Amino acid sequence: MSSFLFMTVLTAFRFLNRNRMRSVLTTIGIIIGVGSVIAMVSIGEGAKSVIQSQVASMGTNMILILPGATSVGGVRGGQGGAVTLTVSDAVDLKKKLAVLRETGWAKRDVMQVVYGNQNWNVPVNGISPSYLRIRDWSFTSGGPFTEAEMEATSRVALIGQTVVDNLFTEGEDPLGKMIRIKNVPFQIIGILAPKGQSPNGNDQDDIIFIPFTTAERKVVGTQFLGTVGALFASTERTEDLPEAVEDIRRILRERHRLRPEQPDDFTLRTQVDIGRVQEGTGETLTIMMFSVASISLLVGGIGIMNILLVSVTERTREIGIRMAIGAKRQHILVQFLAEAIILSMAGGMLGVVFGIAGARATTLIAGWPTIISIQAILVAFLFSVAVGLIFGMYPANKASRLNPIDALRYE
């Protein structure tokens, strides 16, 4: 049996080598198919990992609570249009729900910030100290403000890297400097570590944090004291998130005295939900890429079938001789199948090489992150072998069913 396999493979290689140019051209379809699957999946995986790190940059096990839409006489405002959430909601949630590690709150407005002769329009956020912990903000220098500073409505500010870049000259240390936010002087006590883009594509580093009370009373202003732009909460473990969301909903509905038939006057979103939307986009892309790659593998398979059919015709007499000297149908069948599989396997291997090279080139030239997926390599390679097997079947079967006399007489 081993000698049979050896001779079959040897014969197949000999023939493919005899028609080297043709063999190479035949495999190009498979090379492109496998190569594009691997390159595409690598790019897709790379993009996915970027999204994942963006989602992770939002914080750890975070729950976002936005005020709901107002509805006044049938006219509905947009999301966040109402001021239904308050600081006491946040404090009460933390008190009642042991599953929550922390709750925080924020209120934001875009304002002009001035330093020396430079000015810059920045979203200024009044926040509770806990907000920084929920969102996992860290510092390149300085540090957060304290509860006491918040109580005292201190004029202290934490600024993001983008703000630093726009207000200060290079090499200047902003720490301890005074900036004016809406003409109110603030001392910079912390520089935030950069986070990069949010999943929505916003620059998360273009930001200033000041104590919530200071914002409310001295800068942003408010209709009612204690109303917030958004509430934040976090849990100890990711698997606690769904339960925490339900608990928060229940307590907030109680606190807001909503009757059962009334809709929520707030919206709850977890980090997991946000990530899922982004990953969904990535998956659509991956499916599209996969179908393009599958089509080129299909075309490659048809190419192999075509060339094998030509080969069967060309070698009709040889097949006749082989049959006359004792080859049985399965011998001829296996021989042609071996050629098909060797062609597709060689194409698959070259495709793997080109795919990896393509992914690397994408990273080098376009700067896109790529992750070479071993799984994709295996699947694409096995798929190419299967293509050879399936598309080789028809020509091989045709060859094996030749009538030896007709085959011998064929010129």
Partner 1 sequence: MSSLIVCEQIWKTYRLGDIDVHALRGVNLNIEAGEFVAIMGSSGSGKSTLMNILGCLDVPTSGAYWLNGQDVATAKPEELAEIRSRTIGFVFQNFSLISKTSALENVQLPLFYQGVSLKEQRARAEAALARVGLAHREHHYPAQLSGGQQQRVAIARALVSQPSVILADEPTGNLDTESSLEIMGIFQQLNREDGLTVLVVTHEHDIAAYAARQIVMKDGGIIRDHATEPTNPAISSHFV
Q: Which residues contribute to the site for partner 1 (CB under 8 A)?
A: 3-4, 6-7, 11, 14-15, 18, 318, 321-329, 331, 404-405, 408
Residue 299, CA distances (Å) to 165, 194, 252, 303, 391 in order? 53, 48, 59, 6, 10
Nearer to partner 1, 368 or 410 (CB): 410
Do residues 395 and 312 touch, judged by C-beta distance below 8 A?
Answer: yes
The type of residue at 71 is: S
In 129-207, at which residue ranges do the beta strands (DSSP E only) sit? 139-142, 156-159, 178-181, 184-192
Which of 110, 113, 112 has its CA nearest to residue 168?
113
Closest separation between CB of residue 326 and partner 1, Å?
3
Closest separation between CB of residue 378 and partner 1, Å?
33
Closest separation between CB of residue 7 and partner 1, Å?
5
Phi, then psi, of 191 in degrees rounded to 5 = -105, 125
The type of residue at 81 is: G
Contacts of 136 (CB under 8 A, 6+ apart): 57, 58, 59, 60
Closest separation between CB of residue 411 and partner 1, Å?
9
Closest separation between CB of residue 22 and partner 1, Å?
15
Closest separation between CB of residue 291 and partner 1, Å?
41
Nearer to partner 1, 326 or 367 (CB): 326
Q: In the 3-class helix/strand/coil scheme, how is 189-216 assigned residue by residue?
A: EEEECCCCECCCCCECCCCEEEEHHHHH
Nearer to partner 1, 139 or 410 (CB): 410
